[in-house]
Amino acid sequence: MTVSVQAYARAHTATFVADKMRNLLKVLIRHHGLDPQKLVDAWSSWVDAAARAWMEDGDLRAVVIEFYRPGDTHASARWDFPIRYDGTDIDQMWVDRDFFQDSFAKAAPPPGNCTHTAFYCCRAPPQRACRASAA
């Protein structure tokens, strides 16, 4: 009984966190004057399922978004969103959207003409790692 309850809770937590991360990344992309549609398309096709599966397994460590100019070899701006698994209660699952929007406003914006890529950092072996191109 405990295993099924824990699995059920982990699956619903993964859904909640994945939805919040997608929305937060959309806010960040829009804040920098870019169109989030490619992120939304990638998220709908496979990124969401991968994020949920890795969170259910406890393997997802962070979601990262980088802004870069096409042709550049390094990111102009980067945001890391760590995923933690040490919460014990539904009350600990929340996102302070105002805090993030204030943080976005305080950070140096990426230069104009940028695009973006979102990817995952996982605990899994390198052959299981994937990159979600949302550029």
Q: What are the tens digits of pLDDT across the range 73-116?
A: 888 888 888 887 776 666 556 667 787 888 888 888 888 788 88
As given in the structure block, the two tokens for residue 38 are 């490619």
> How many domains, the chain?
1
What does the pLDDT average to over 35-59? 84
As given in the structure block, the two tokens for residue 115 are 């695009």
User: In this predicted model, which residue has the larger pLDDT, 68 or 13?
Assistant: 68
Asked if residues 18 and 11 have their Cβ atoms less than 8 Å apart, the reply is: no
Cα angle 30-31-36, degrees, rounded to a multiple of 5:
15
Sequence-ordered list of residues with C-beta below 8 angstroms from that of 46, at least 6 positions apart, any chain: 132
What domain range includes position 47? Answer: 2-87+95-132
